Amino acid sequence: MKQLELVSRGARRKRATSLSLKFLPWLVALGLPLIVDSNASGNFAYCLVWAFGAIGLAAMWGYGGILSFGQTAFFGLSGYAYGIIALNFGDSWITSWGSLLAALVVSVAAATLIGYMIFYGRIKGVFIGIVTLSITLVLETFMSQTAGPQWAIGAAKLNGYNGMGGMPQLTIPWHGGPLTLENTSFYYFVLALLALIYRVTRKLLDGPFGLTLIAIRENPQRAEMLGVDIRRHQLLIFVFGSTLGGLSGVLYTIWGSYITPSTMGLTSAALPVIWVATAGRKSIGGAIIGTALLVWLSQNLAVYGSQYALILLGSILLIVVLLAPEGLLPYVITHLRRLATRPQSNAVPEPQTALKAGRGSKS
């Protein structure tokens, strides 16, 4: 009886800490612009912009077992699409939001096409990686070659390797003239969008769809025998994840008013994989925090030269893969928890099923 009471009290305490842990990052993120100036908030917005693509990759890789190297392809595709549409249709608030939606539709369409080819062609495992990576790299080569006046779509000049610039920012109608979303307001917009996407993704992945995905990841054959249409599920999560990569691209284009082909290059394509692998691919929230932190870190290191940041990121990735294959954040948390529980002799050993469940990197 006493034991039971202990258990329930422990569980309650655990729930309380996990609740506060869950909301703490959001509270910190909400409060950040209050202590820094608006320029710095704009910078934090930049760190958060990349998190969408990371969420998408974590959903595909951690839950669906699909390691896509094509996040930056959709990033570039949607970024360019936003630029082309927005430059052609002016900068009223309707067109800027319309361009955002249209750019996402472009990603959805491209992801559906590529995903159809991949999953209905029954491509599996690491092969998905090379297919998506070759598409990304050819897209980069293609965009790099679009220099010259003949490469213009309407009013938008593609400008080859130097990239495209001068896109309008998002505006919202306001009494007394339209309000441009920049710096602090853009930060809050991105944060709100991030919270929304986080909720939607969690809802999706914690529900029957996510469970089915895990079943497919763990054993595709068994899932198929149970009547699951694995190709449809994989296609859906691929489109979902890739579109989030596209969303990152649109927001990046809006943030900096420019996009270049090098955002799709081999080096850029490695970054989402590094962030998600480091943060732990099974955790959506971890992917957001890890990505924001790593982008912030590389931004600060880039002052000394972009090489140092990339060498550091590469080394982190190598260490993570060799020592903490579940990701650095989960590794640290597990070890901290083990340290915290060791001194209490009568603590009930808790089953760590959540962390151990499914090391699904099989292919």
Spatial separation of the C-alpha atoms in residues 218 and 135, rounded to whole Å:
27
Fill in the amino acid letter for 71: Q
Q: What SS3 string covers 165-209?
A: ECCCCCEECCCCCCEECCHHHHHHHHHHHHHHHHHHHHHHHHCHH
19 binds other proteins (CB under 8 A): no
State the minimum distance, in angstroms, from the CB of residue 172 to other proteins: 39
Of the candidate residues 17, 88, 141, 299, the single one contacting other proteins (CB under 8 A): 141
Of the candidate residues 8, 145, 300, 341, the single one contacting other proteins (CB under 8 A): 145
137 binds other proteins (CB under 8 A): yes
What is the signed CA dihedral for 12, 13, 17, 18, rounded to 10 degrees?
-30
Specify burial of residue 280 (Cβ count, 10 A radius: 0-12, 13-18, 19+). Answer: buried
Q: Residue 58: name the closest of 245, 221, 193 by CA.
A: 245
161 binds other proteins (CB under 8 A): no
Residues 6 or more apart from 212 whose CB is under 8 A from it? Answer: 223, 228, 233
Site for other proteins in 236-265 (CB under 8 A): 265
Q: Is 47 or 317 the residue whose CB approaches other proteins more closely?
A: 317
Site for other proteins in 56-95 (CB under 8 A): 61, 67
Q: Residue 161: name the closest of 264, 235, 20 by CA.
A: 264
Q: Is 356 or 362 the residue whose CB approaches other proteins more closely?
A: 362
Of the candidate residues 25, 125, 173, 207, the single one contacting other proteins (CB under 8 A): 125
Q: What is the DSSP letter of 281?
A: T
302 binds other proteins (CB under 8 A): no
Residues 6 or more apart from 169 whose CB is under 8 A from it? Answer: 91, 96, 180, 181, 182, 186, 254, 257
Q: Is 124 or 202 the residue whose CB approaches other proteins more closely?
A: 124
135 binds other proteins (CB under 8 A): yes
Of the candidate residues 126, 155, 302, 347, the single one contacting other proteins (CB under 8 A): 126
The sign of the torsion formed by the CA atoms of 124, 125, 126, 132 equals positive
**DSSP assignments along 16-34, one per residue:** HHHHHHHHHHHHHHHHHHH
State the minimum distance, in angstroms, from the CB of residue 267 to other proteins: 7
State the minimum distance, in angstroms, from the CB of residue 276 to other proteins: 10
Spatial separation of the C-alpha atoms in residues 52 and 29, rounded to whole Å:
16
x-or-dash pattern for other proteins, window 305-324, by CB under 8 A?
x-xx-xx-xxx-xx--xx--
State the minimum distance, in angstroms, from the CB of residue 304 to other proteins: 10
235 binds other proteins (CB under 8 A): no
Residues 6 or more apart from 95 whose CB is under 8 A from it? Answer: 85, 86, 89, 168
Number of residues that bind other proteins (CB under 8 A): 46
Angle (CA) 5-11-15 rounded to 5° is: 145
State the minimum distance, in angstroms, from the CB of residue 223 to other proteins: 19
x-or-dash pattern for other proteins, window 95-124, by CB under 8 A?
-------------------x--xx-xxxx-
State the minimum distance, in angstroms, from the CB of residue 316 to other proteins: 8
Q: Is 131 or 190 the residue whose CB approaches other proteins more closely?
A: 131
134 binds other proteins (CB under 8 A): yes
Fill in the amino acid letter for 284: I
Please give the residue ranges that form the binding site for other proteins (CB under 8 A). Answer: 61, 67, 114, 117-118, 120-123, 125-127, 129-131, 133-135, 137-138, 141-142, 145, 265-267, 270, 273-274, 277, 305, 307-308, 310-311, 313-315, 317-318, 321-322, 325, 361-363
